Amino acid sequence: MPPMSKAYNPADHESRIWQKWIDANAFHANPDRVLNGEARPYCVLIPPPNVTAALHLGHALNNSIQDILVRAHRMMGYETLWMPGTDHAGIATQTMVDKRLKDQGKDGIAEYKRKELDGGNGREEFIGLVQDFKDEFEARITHQLQTMGCSCDWDRQRFTMDDICARAVREAFFRLFKDGLIYRGKRLVNWDPVTQTALADDEVEMEEVDGHFYYLRYPLVKEIEGDPTIPVTWGELATRGYPEAETHPEDEQAWVTVATTRPETYMGDTAVAVNPKDPRAGAVRGLHVMLPIVGRVIPIIEDDYVVLPVKYGGEPGDAKAEMSTGFLKVTPAHDPNDYMIGQRHNLDTINIMAPDASISDQHGWDREARGEDGHVFIGKSREEARKLVIQEFNARSVAEGSEGSLLEKMVPHRHSVGHSYRSHVPVEPYLSDQWYCKVTDDKLRGNAQRALLPEQRTEQSIKDWPESRPKMQTKGSTDGTMTFYPSRYAKTYETWHDNLRDWCISRQLWWGHRIPVWSNSHNPGKALDDFLQDWEDSLGQAWEQVEDSGKIAATETLPEGAIFVCVRDEHDTAIVSALENAGFRRDPDVLDTWFSSALWPLSTMGWPDASAAKDSSGIEDFESLLAAFNPTSVLTTAREIITLWVSRMTMFNRYFLGEEHAGKAPFKDVFIHAMIQDGEGRKMSKTLGNGVDPLDIIDSHGADAMRFTLCQMTTQTQDVRMPVELDESTGKNTSPKFDLGRNLCNKLWNASKFALGMFEKAELKAGIPINPEELSLIDRWMLSRVTHATNKVNTALRNYMFKDYADAIYDLFWRDFCDWYLESIKPTIADSPEQAAVLRNVIDAILRLMHPVMPFITETLFERFEPLPMREIEGFSIEVTQSNATLCQSGWPTPADELRDEVAEEAYERVRSLVTTIREVRATAQVKPKRQIVLHAGGELAADIARWSPLVETLAGVEAITADEPEGQSASFTFEGSEYRLSNLADALDAGAERDRLEKELATLEKSIAGINGRLSNPGYVDKAPAHLVEQTRAQLAQLEKDHAATQAALEKLG
RNA sequence: GGGCGAGUAGCUCAGUUGGCUAGAGCGUUCGCCUUACACGCGAAAUGUCGUGGGUUCGAGUCCCUCCUCGCCUACCA
């Protein structure tokens, strides 16, 4: 092997080591070993990254964490599967490709939509482009993960739209459809007018927006002799008992004022509502209002949904009561609450917008509803229409000649508005037909709730969703097995389900899993029976027969008599062509991306047809995967995914794997990691330019350094901050935090180099096992520290405490091993084969403990150490789990508890304390580092020091230890309550500095003594505190007083 | 409005069930190229633990009040 470089240079090793792992097939999981009982399973599913962009630092953190868990368990002997893959990310990817085309000066998807409308295959062509885009980014993401060292089972990599995943989607859709858990509904959806698709509730982001309350006046009218437009005057209102009507001119037309933030929807109003308890309600009962400009007359209705204004009994402090007028404009087609009012009162629903949210008379707002003057708004965008409505209202008054404008006032108002998480424009509540998944059904939502560990559930939730079959009674129950880390996220999960609404799963996109439903709804002229007859004729089989065979399922829910047919098998061309021959058409929409993501634990494992998955992938053991690895061990993900993804995977896994009872949750644990923010606590984002690219960090610091730093930052809080700096030399963002990891790697490299150098002097030999009790103090101490650290590491990993893991190995390696052990053994190791054996064993254990987080450097070093003979130390041996050819397949340290040596730790603690004290004296007395000094120690210490002397001499720069009194000048220090002296510190000592040092020490001691005295003189403490604590305090006081006396004596001697 | 998290050294963060003089890394100061490492070694300085109360012999830790920041969630009258 070539000599080791002076500093660790990651780029020299990382790609070679990666290739070594791949060649060794080290990351391949063998499910049959699990099924045969040879090994316990450990499985992690990667949260599939979107193929829309390269991975960012958050991904780096998430995947580092997963790799740490996976590598540790692989070394521990678990059969370990980390399943990689990517997500097709419907809207996001389609938008990216559209944008790319436009950036190239083309028309984007619009061009392909035209082609499709003209009978061409625009849809297919566009999907081809998206496919290319996906291939590009999938390759990039894969490369990034591999560069980071992620030990995924790369042969099994999946994509949410590949054949195997597609089969799962098809089957899942079919079963839910057949079971009545997927249905078609016409209702207001969250509509993204830019991408022109429906969105699920959780794809809508609330953003604060500066808007206004607009107060609009609607003139009151009534019907006389068939003319519904006769003005109602204030005088008439006064007669009817309308409060304060008399404050207006008697003969002028009266109005009601509505408050709105969205005046542009007023053309779609179909009523004005008032609370029946409102004192004005009776006066306006039976009256109508006439919508200005469009001239349409709409009724005034009464509904107690309307909030009373404070003036008329509304709750002061309630924002709505404060702002409202008591009259509510009702626009059922453009507001969810109004839609419900509309349903209650049988109101018309007038949609005034095109799918791009421009005002249109082609989608429900016809000429009749529009009136003569409404045309001015047509074609305007939402924003333009708002301005125009306000302008028009402002320019007019209720009736010609009356005072004041139709726009009574405008009040600035900041409120949050739903925006598309993809296009970032406000979503439009839009009436349309969509497919819904009935997640509120107990079989889905209820079982998701019941999946939680009972200790993490709230009482209310257990009451609302009791365990279907309490474990005590039924063995088969799989409730209560999923645990969140940190536990507080269980609450987020529960609350999400509490407020759940049915999930809109159709998207008006091209990139995605196309909905496998054919219908005749586009052809209402043809009778249903004729459709069915044609279909039977074409297929040559009776409908009932095919349905009973499970190949199709159908619903007939709509009043129009349309029938929706779901075809189970994508390859069932006979059925499909029969449907199409009969005049059925396939639904043009695709499924929400999360529908396929929700199936990830199933689809990646070959569900529903593992033998088909085997055939299409060529992976022989596909059929064993599901049984071996579902449920998986842990899902590692970010906060915002709890709702979007965790819940849905849980619902689907339990539903589809259920038989008599609900199936198992897809994972035992869910770990939610912190979110990385920049130094100012902001999200990292492209627009802010504060993002850090993991590959840049790997270039500058190495993959291990990045991984260690991220691991070390991963505390149990919800955010962590990473100060971002621009590296002037490269023009790239970086962070000084990563120096921590780089420095650690370099230290590890050099300590290893040093150890290897020692092994050239001290011969390593195999031999009979060493009894640790016969080892020297420092060796026993080091073995004890390794044992201690191993326990800490195991506990930390078990509880997903990644910072604790990082700190444990850092302290073990740097503080214990480098600072003390290596320094201590320098003078003795050359002559002690036993000590050399200990060093060999200890460094081996350290490399293993560090490997999960720093795989490249530890594997590189392992290559150098592995060939060296390793003499066994009793209780310290490591069982190889797969092969010693690579560290990552080798074993994990399992030191016996007996190696925890309290006596050695205590004794060495005294050595360290003495050494530190002497170093302090040296530093304050400005002793040159190379100068060897003399320690004068008699009495009790002398005996101990005799045993420790090589340690003290080496570590404290002492050339001799003597019981004699110093002859010339000397400095004094106190140790364990006695005074000792150091001499030969310098050619001439500075007595003043010596006095200062002693006086300062005296002051510190006095302060401590005063504090402890105070505590002991408090009778409450002595009486009530535990006896051992009081005893401890007394001992401490005694020690301090001895120290004080000794220091005092030294000071007096100084004269 | 509801929920959650954070506020500890100049910066980034630890601090498990209350109990030795509140810790680490970075940064700062001083001294060192001590035969692995200057990406290093030795030493030092730096804290009213957000505010104000309470419980307790004892509070960074438990309870209450308030302030600041962040996230999630519900509100587009």
Which pLDDT tens digit goes with each residue over A56-115? 888 999 999 999 999 999 999 999 999 999 999 888 888 889 888 989 988 888 888 888
Residues 128-157 of A with CB within 7 A of strand B:
none
3-state class of A77 per DSSP?
A: coil
φ/ψ of residue A882, rounded to 5 = -125, -55
Protein CA A146 to sugar C1' B24 (Å): 31
Least confident of A182-191, A315-324, A333-342, A400-409: A315-324
For strand B, is any atom closer than 7 Å to the CB of A1032?
yes
Protein CA A353 to sugar C1' B76 (Å): 17
Interface confidence (ipTM) of the complex: 0.93
What are the tens digits of pLDDT across the range A920-970?
A: 888 888 888 888 889 888 777 778 887 887 888 888 888 888 888 888 788
State residue A473's pLDDT score. Answer: 47
Query: What are the CA-CA distances from residue A114 to residues A98, A127, A537, A1001 (Å)?
Result: 14, 15, 35, 87
Segment A993-1002 shows an average pLDDT of 79
Query: What are the CA-CA distances from residue A151 to residues A9, A28, A388, A622, A888 (Å)?
Result: 22, 9, 60, 19, 9
Q: A472: pLDDT confidence band, cut at 50, 70 and 90?
A: very low
How far is it, in rounded angstroms, from Cα A921 to Cα A998?
10
Does residue A691 surpass a pLDDT of 90? no
Residues 172-211 of A with CB within 7 A of strand B:
201-202, 205-206, 208, 211
φ/ψ of residue A1000, rounded to 5 = -65, -40
C-beta separation of A405 from A397 below 8 A:
yes
Protein CA A923 to sugar C1' B29 (Å): 14
How far is it, in rounded angstroms, from Cα A672 to Cα A58?
12
Tokens 């008054």 belong to residue: A397
Protein CA A196 to sugar C1' B5 (Å): 36
Within 10 A of A559 (CB to CB), how many other CB atoms are there?
5
Q: Looking at this protein, which amino acid is placed at residue A559?
A: P
Protein CA A924 to sugar C1' B46 (Å): 19
C-beta separation of A115 from A929 below 8 A:
no
Whole-number percent of chain A with pLDDT over 90 = 37
C-beta separation of A700 from A734 below 8 A:
yes
Protein CA A11 to sugar C1' B45 (Å): 39
Q: What is the CA radius of gyration of chain A?
A: 38
For strand B, is any atom closer than 7 Å to the CB of A723?
yes
Q: Give how far the C-alpha of residue A950 lies from the chain's centroid of Cα atoms, to the nearest Å.
A: 53
* Paired strand residues for A211: A413
Segment A1002-1014 shows an average pLDDT of 81
For strand B, is any atom closer than 7 Å to the CB of A1048?
no
Protein CA A532 to sugar C1' B26 (Å): 75
Does residue A468 surpass a pLDDT of 70? no
User: Does the N-terminal peptide bond of residue A869 adopt cis geometry, omega within 30 degrees of 0?
Assistant: no
For strand B, is any atom closer than 7 Å to the CB of A916?
yes
* Paired strand residues for A327: A258, A274
For strand B, is any atom closer than 7 Å to the CB of A391?
no
Closest C1' nucleotide to A334's CA:
B76
What's the whole-number average pLDDT of chain A?
A: 87
Closest C1' nucleotide to A930's CA:
B34
Q: A989: pLDDT confidence band, cut at 50, 70 and 90?
A: low
φ/ψ of residue A826, rounded to 5 = -50, -50
State residue A13's pLDDT score. Answer: 94
For strand B, is any atom closer than 7 Å to the CB of A812?
no
Protein CA A1023 to sugar C1' B55 (Å): 18
Q: A988: pLDDT confidence band, cut at 50, 70 and 90?
A: low
For strand B, is any atom closer than 7 Å to the CB of A336?
yes
Max CA-CA distance within chain A? 129
C-beta separation of A287 from A222 below 8 A:
yes
φ/ψ of residue A260, rounded to 5 = -150, 155
Protein CA A307 to sugar C1' B27 (Å): 58
C-beta separation of A164 from A91 below 8 A:
no
What are the tens digits of pLDDT across the range A600-653?
A: 999 999 999 999 999 999 999 999 999 999 899 999 988 877 777 889 999 999
State residue A976's pLDDT score. Answer: 82
Nucleotides of B under 7 A from a protein CB: 3-6, 11-15, 19-21, 24-26, 30-32, 34, 36-44, 56-58, 69-77
How far is it, in rounded angstroms, from Cα A341 to Cα A353?
20
For strand B, is any atom closer than 7 Å to the CB of A319?
yes
C-beta separation of A745 from A737 below 8 A:
no
Does residue A566 surpass a pLDDT of 70? yes
For strand B, is any atom closer than 7 Å to the CB of A212?
no
Does residue A41 surpass a pLDDT of 70? yes
How far is it, in rounded angstroms, from Cα A443 to Cα A652?
10
φ/ψ of residue A33, rounded to 5 = -65, -35
Task: Using the Cα atoms of residue A425, residue A426, residue A432 and residue A437 in order, give the sign of their dihedral.
Answer: positive
Q: Provide the token pair at A754.
A: 């040093």
C-beta separation of A530 from A615 below 8 A:
no
Beta strand A503-504 with A725-727 is unpaired
Q: Which domains does chain A have, with CATH numbers?
A: 209-417 (3.90.740.10), 523-584 (no CATH), 738-904 (1.10.730.10), 913-1054 (no CATH)
Query: What are the CA-CA distances from residue A1029 to residues A906, A1035, A1038, A1042 (Å)?
Result: 19, 10, 14, 20
For strand B, is any atom closer than 7 Å to the CB of A299?
no
Q: A471: pLDDT confidence band, cut at 50, 70 and 90?
A: low
For strand B, is any atom closer than 7 Å to the CB of A929?
yes
